[in-house]
Amino acid sequence: MIHSFTDLQSIQGKLAAGATSCAELTEYYLDRIHEGAHLNAFISLFAERARAQAVEIDGKQKKGTAGRLAGMIMAIKDNMVLDYGATTCGSHILEHFQSPYTATVLKKLAAEDAIFIGKTNMDEFAMGSSTENSAFGLVRNPLDNDRVPGGSSGGSAVAVAADFCTAALGSDTGGSIRQPASFCGVIGLKPTYGRVSRYGLVAFASSLDQIGPLTRSVDDAALLMNVLAGRDPGDSTSAAVDVPDFCADLDKPLKGLRIGIPQEYYGEGLDETVRQALQKTSEFLRDMQAIPVPVSLPHTEYSIATYYILANAEASANLARYDGAHYGARADAARSLEEMYVQTRSQAFGAEVKRRIMLGTYVLSSGYYEAYYAKAQQVRTRLRDDFDGAWQHCDLLLTPTCPTTAFRIGEKASDPLTMYLSDVYTVSVNLTGLPALSIPCGQDPQGLPIGAQLIGQPFAEGTLLRVAKQLQLHHAPTRQVLRLEER
């Protein structure tokens, strides 16, 4: 019998004992996805292909030649290309697009015998904080179906939280792994910029985007980082930095580790329940003989404005390629080339994507570049300097992931600025290229999860995972089947 909410270690133990098989695991997850179809977590499924892969890997298990990820059934955010199936980015403009190649990260996972069960729903082109902006319908939080799962990797977070898969991949441009991880009560890791190849990730903002895992256990996140990390000749921004064994020091004591508490992340706008959960988390780390240290990141208040200038500028440039001429959707009734461009983009892009393209084009336009884009780059440098100063006093930072727990569907949809402020604690990490991780650290009075964010020094994912392991052991979430009937 397959037990839900298991991590890969326990699954592989059952595989070794003959208590289950990859074929049985695959059927279990496909059944779960069917039961939870109302959550709308997936855009496409690879049912028959996954079944065939499972049979093949079961054969490898018997021969003792299976890879490190045998038994891991994975969901993939639908902005990472595969050379089979569609890659839509949650947009009508790519609704029928099939990539001729496969992303580096997916090749690495497949080489270690991970099975891809399907592509997950997302905010269109990863532009959103709630997964309400998908062309294929909004995604519902499995813990409360009237609330959002966060975004833009909402489908991946739901897939993990609802036990539709063992783990999932997401992308994080301003919090898109960490925020849905917080809202859905799972673990989400945004690696250092350059730690994981972006080759095959459809670009939103190229200087900010990063691929990372969403899991139910820290051990699974560490193992996935062992597979995903490393230099890729196909991605000129990937770093030629040694990849440690991220699993090696997970149980190392925290004694003497300096935990920075940045005062700017605990001010106005932070829900009191979230504040109390972070206070308890800090106290627990002190009990583990870590040393909380007050620090300051004085330019934090400018991070949201800076992010939405730079991210939208890069989005405007990256999305210029979707014009109906090269690939993707094309307006058929156009009478001229210019009309074809206008009609294609007007019909196939959603409202949020159009808003960001227009804002990005504006800040890059003649007469405004210096006032907005160039100034934002200067502030980005100041933010990086803030973090460099903090590292003189601490080894990592502890902050809330989000100001609140998951909000209701539609609550912020008509107010973009309020929606953007959902990312107030996450965007600085992308602007500075640092690694960060969200892990559950409590619940609000409605039983909704609260996420603690750990921010690390460049390429210090191992330290984040080490602290997260102790937090996971402390909170010891109940491993049970999440009921999937609509509520």
Which residues are identified as catalytic? Answer: 77, 152, 176
In angstroms, the Cα distances linking 317 to 200, 345, 365, 375 are 18, 14, 12, 18
Q: Tokens for 304?
A: 């949201």
- Edge to edge, the sheet with strand 258-262 lists 42-45, 115-120, 73-77, 167-171, 211-215, 187-190, 436-443, 449-456, 396-400, 258-262, 291-295
Cα torsion through 163, 167, 173, 175, rounded to 10? 50
Residue 223 CA, distance from chain mean position:
17
- Asked if 434 contacts 396 with a C-beta cutoff of 8 angstroms, the reply is no
Q: Tokens for 117?
A: 């069960």
In angstroms, the Cα distances linking 157 to 153, 189, 214, 376, 389 are 6, 12, 7, 31, 33
Q: What's the rounded Cα separation, in Å, for the pair 371 and 375?
A: 6
Q: Give the closest residue to 229 by CA, choosing from 192, 200, 195, 194.
A: 195
Q: Give the closest residue to 62 by CA, choosing from 21, 29, 90, 100.
A: 21
Q: What's the rounded Cα separation, in Å, for the pair 381 and 290?
A: 30
- Asked if 223 contacts 67 with a C-beta cutoff of 8 angstroms, the reply is no
How crowded is residue 269: how many other Cβ atoms within 10 Å of its Cβ?
A: 10
